[in-house]
Structure 1
Amino acid sequence: MKKSLAGWLWLLWSLLALAESPGDFAFGMLLRPDGPQPLLRVDLPAAVHAGVSRADLGDLRVFNAAGEAVPHAWLPPPSAPRARPALLPLRYFALRGEAAAGVDGVEVRIERQGGRAVLRMNDRAGVPAMLLGYLVDASTVEQPLQAFALELPATADDLVARVRVEASDDLVRWTTLVSEAPVLRLAAGGQRLERLRIEFAPRRAKYFRLSWAAGSPALQLAAVGGEPAATLLEVPRQWQQVAGSAERDAAGSYRFDLGGQFPADRLRLLLPQANSVAVVELLSRANDRDAWRRVTTATVYRLGAAGQEVVSPEIAIVPNGDRYWLLRVDQRGGGLGAGVPELAAGWLTRSLVFAARGPTPFQLAFGSSSAQPTAYPITTLVPGHRIADDGQPVAGAAAAASVEIGRATTAAVHTLAGEGARRAGIDWQRWGLWASLLLGVALLAWMAWRLARQLARPSQDDGPGA
């Protein structure tokens, strides 16, 4: 009996210890490392999204040549980098007037003469004119400014001032951006301390005014530079473009099959005819059995002659991995005319990092109806993980000397188990596990029942003559 129980326990442990292999997945891609680094990064091509069964990529594994799964983790999507434009030299004019009235008492106007800007002020004869501030001309600057970089004369030392920055479009009404920005230059012992940059919330205005409190020493400037606000650079995306098919029973409705679960966050609609404008509604669903879910509405257009067309911009959406899409066009403007539109879905490239453990070549396997997510958190797999400005993972200072992340490229897709692995079938491993558990419980119950009977049976020593 003990041998039987041990046998059942061994069978149960064997079923629990069954490991995944490449043959459990529909498709695979060989990975080519670019070096012997311990950790390798892979950027997923569109073919992976077309072959997985789960939109969250939970049915993806990395195997070595021995068929062993190696640890992997997902990198966070890259963030849009900020571009800091170069400093712009700006024209500036000294504002002079009565000290008691301040800059508000100086009436100014700028006249354009032959491409030059001429400043006119209300000079009053016989009244000493003091330097009260500066007028900065930013009328030719198209982007918002977020800071001024001041340049002082080389002889200006031991200067401490507090500067007010105001903005206006008509030289009459002024809005305060910074009330008391510190500006200083101190020199001592051959060392110099400077603070000549004045920051403020990004603002687009034709004119700016710099001034200081009455009684404060005048601030002599040699130049003024304007710093444009940093702009977000669009991260490159992968795109999947498909043609639509018109719905027979619904005028102005078109269906699209992207052919995979792409995590789209941008959409493009390519209209079939030039000089078209339409209001549209976009809906999506994961499969044919689900109800359509509204995603967004937009106005799309295609205007102009060939070669000089203006088309509607990309439509930003919340990341959506649905495969099937429906376009509904408002028919009040005549719809889209003849032809069918095309839909393009764009997404940020997903990247994973895996441990280069075991023999090469490594293989990316994906597409399984039964596989569950096994990815580690990136902070677990990569010591001291952080993301640099270029979107690359960077090891912490303590681990940088020993941890290096290389690159691996993907080869063409090849078939492993094929489409059968993506279809939900009989999970023999799970059923075998449950059968073993039930048989084990039944065996333990039978043993307990038999032991109880033996304990309840009177022994031969307990006879009448005892």
Structure 2
Amino acid sequence: MGKLSLSGLAFWMLCSAAHAQEAPADFATQVPLAISGNGPWYRLALPLAVQLNARQADLGDVRVFNAAGEPQAYALSRQSSQHTESRTVTDVKWFPLYAADTREAVPGVVMKATTDGTLLEIRPSSTNGQQVLRGWVLDASAIKAPLQQLTLDWSQEQDGFQRFSIEASDDLQHWQAWGDGQVARLSFADERVEQHDVSLPGQSARYLRLVWLGQAAPQLTSAKLVSATRSRLPLPLVWSPPVAGARLKAGEYSWPLPAGLGIERVRIELKQPNTLAPVTLSGRRDDKQAWQPLSNGLLYRLSQNGQDVVQDELQLPGLAVTELKLHVDERGGGLGVDAPTLRFAVRATQLVFLARGEPPFTLALGNASVKAANLPLSTLIPDYTAERLQTLGQATVEGEMVVTSPTVAQAGPNWKKLGLWAVLLLGVAALGAMAYSLLRKPPVAR
């Protein structure tokens, strides 16, 4: 029994040395946290600038410590996209909005609908003078799911950019702004470039009102709404600081990116007014991999009615790449000799921790050698549900990041770890001595 106990003791000491408690000084970056709301669980949306200081692509080196330097139990949520249960494209009816001129912000109209909400008629509140077509009202009363996208088509005679405001209503009386939309049909180098889709905020509404900005509206030939029932809302997109690129050759530019981030959108700087550039964006994980097409589209910055009309973003499929390459069709004039700067967007990473001990709490990361310590959310929060997650207390980054060299890279001995290894070696030596003593002991006569 004594031999077995000594072996178990040595094994325990070995495990203790291998899993010595980490301290904030073991990590290159420390960020102060402020907490609010009801604990003991707190959720923190990790800023992208903080994530880029991690030494492990999967954020296995992130930790939270209390005021005494004790590590806290935590979980990571790295949701890449919404979970879609169903997606439907619906053709909807449209009704014209007329006004006396294009300077009137919102046309005065009288609207009629049936008891079930189906739109019957829209007419001007005043018929004095010539009426100008200012926009359209779309009847979405038959759609019960949140609206994700609007797709428009219009008469071939009206080319160019079409910019309009988007408002939503359930009663035709009270309207909520949903931002601006922009579609386009352009002739370019014997080709036609068309943009018909406009993103919507993913909310439900019975009616949409589109009012053209400073110009008459075109005659619509088609209006479709894409709706989707989703099991949960996505985490928001977070944008990177500007990334400098390099010009590979005429019409080609590249940008290096951090590894392990699923990029969903990029924004390319368009410095010069009246820029028009059909582009193709490719990516790869390393320089040994072939380039893979990720997106294509039309980038532009054009002056229209005294304002800049800008489309500088491209949608990506969320793949993790370490380098991007942009090919530009230079028949539109290109993007210049110097590579433009680029920003990329990824879904926010949310960290949830169980507060133990006294604040202030510190977020630490930046250690390539530590092992991941995060738990599943269902383990961290025993009765976890997606709805409950939104009710947890909140933690936010405050102050500035403190970036240092981890203790393991600093000069001088790490007395804590040296002491643990000394205890381990002494235990192993004692075990060896015991085994040697047992081997030298003469066998007992029977």
Structure-1-length-normalised TM-score? 0.53
Residue of structure 1 in register with 2:161 after alignment:
none
Residue of structure 2 in register with 1:362 after alignment:
361
Sort the Cα spacing of 1:33 and 1:284 in 2 relative to 1 into closer, same or farther, 3 A.
Answer: same
Q: Is the 8 A contact 2:242 2:341 kept in 1?
A: yes
Higher CA-based Rg:
1
2:397 aligns to what SS in structure 1? strand
1:407 aligned residue (384, 387, 394): 394
Residue of structure 1 in register with 2:95 after alignment:
none
Report the residue type matching 1:346 in the other structure.
A
What is the alpha-carbon root mean square deviation over aligned residues?
Answer: 4.8
1:292-303 aligned at under 5 Å gives the runs: 293-294=291-292, 296-302=294-300
Q: Is the 8 A contact 1:268 1:315 kept in 2?
A: no
Q: Equivalents in 2 of 1:143, 1:60: separation in Å?
A: 49
Q: Is the 8 A contact 1:80 1:235 kept in 2?
A: no
Sort the Cα spacing of 1:36 and 1:311 in 2 relative to 1 into closer, same or farther, 3 A.
Answer: closer
Shift of residue 438 of structure 1?
9.6
Residue of structure 2 in register with 1:304 after alignment:
302
1:176-195 aligned at under 5 Å gives the runs: none
Shift of residue 23 of structure 1?
0.7
Report the residue type matching 1:52 in the other structure.
A
Q: Equivalents in 2 of 1:361, 1:331: separation in Å?
A: 55
Residue of structure 2 in register with 1:67 after alignment:
69
Report the residue type matching 2:48 in the other structure.
A
Shift of residue 145 of structure 1?
6.2
Q: Equivalents in 1 of 2:16, 2:376: separation in Å?
A: 29
Sort the Cα spacing of 1:8 and 1:230 in 2 relative to 1 into closer, same or farther, 3 A.
Answer: closer
1:47 aligned residue (43, 46, 49): 49
1:179-258 aligned at under 5 Å gives the runs: 230=227, 236-247=236-247, 250-258=249-257
Shift of residue 90 of structure 1?
2.5
2:405 aligned residue (415, 418, 424): 418
1:412 aligns to what SS in structure 2? coil
Q: Equivalents in 2 of 1:258, 1:290: separation in Å?
A: 16
Shift of residue 13 of structure 1?
5.3
Shift of residue 55 of structure 1?
2.1
1:387-398 aligned at under 5 Å gives the runs: 387-388=386-387, 393=389
Report the residue type matching 2:351 in the other structure.
L
1:314 aligns to what SS in structure 2? strand
Q: Equivalents in 2 of 1:261, 1:421: separation in Å?
A: 25
Q: Equivalents in 2 of 1:372, 1:241: separation in Å?
A: 28
Residue of structure 1 in register with 2:375 after alignment:
376
Stretches of structure 2 that go unaligned for 5 or more consecutive residues are: 93-112, 122-126, 128-135, 145-224
2:400 aligns to what SS in structure 1? strand
Stretches of structure 1 that go unaligned for 5 or more consecutive residues are: 93-114, 116-139, 149-227, 395-403
Q: Equivalents in 1 of 2:12, 2:296: separation in Å?
A: 62
Q: Equivalents in 2 of 1:316, 1:281: separation in Å?
A: 9
Identity of aligned residues (%): 31
Identify the range of structure 1 (428-437 vs 408-417) with the bigger mean alpha-carbon deviation.
Answer: 428-437
Report the residue type matching 1:24 in the other structure.
D
Report the residue type matching 1:393 in the other structure.
L
Shift of residue 309 of structure 1?
1.9
Q: Is the 8 A contact 2:44 2:352 kept in 1?
A: yes
Report the residue type matching 1:358 in the other structure.
G
Residue of structure 2 in register with 1:189 after alignment:
none
Q: In the TM superposition, what whole-angstrom CA distance separates every residue of 1:275-306 from its partner, at most 9, and x where no partner exists?
A: 322232322436xx764653514123215326
Q: Is the 8 A contact 1:52 1:261 kept in 2?
A: no
Q: Equivalents in 1 of 2:288, 2:402: separation in Å?
A: 29
Q: Equivalents in 2 of 1:422, 1:346: separation in Å?
A: 32
Sort the Cα spacing of 1:290 and 1:362 in 2 relative to 1 into closer, same or farther, 3 A.
Answer: farther
Residue of structure 2 in register with 1:197 after alignment:
none
Residue of structure 2 in register with 1:30 after alignment:
32
Identify the range of structure 1 (368-377 vs 250-259) with the bigger mean alpha-carbon deviation.
Answer: 250-259
1:336 aligns to what SS in structure 2? coil
Report the residue type matching 1:277 in the other structure.
A
Residue of structure 2 in register with 1:278 after alignment:
278
Instruction: Give the paired residue count.
Output: 315
Identify the range of structure 1 (231-240 vs 336-345) with the bigger mean alpha-carbon deviation.
Answer: 231-240
Report the residue type matching 2:297 in the other structure.
T
Report the residue type matching 2:118 in the other structure.
P
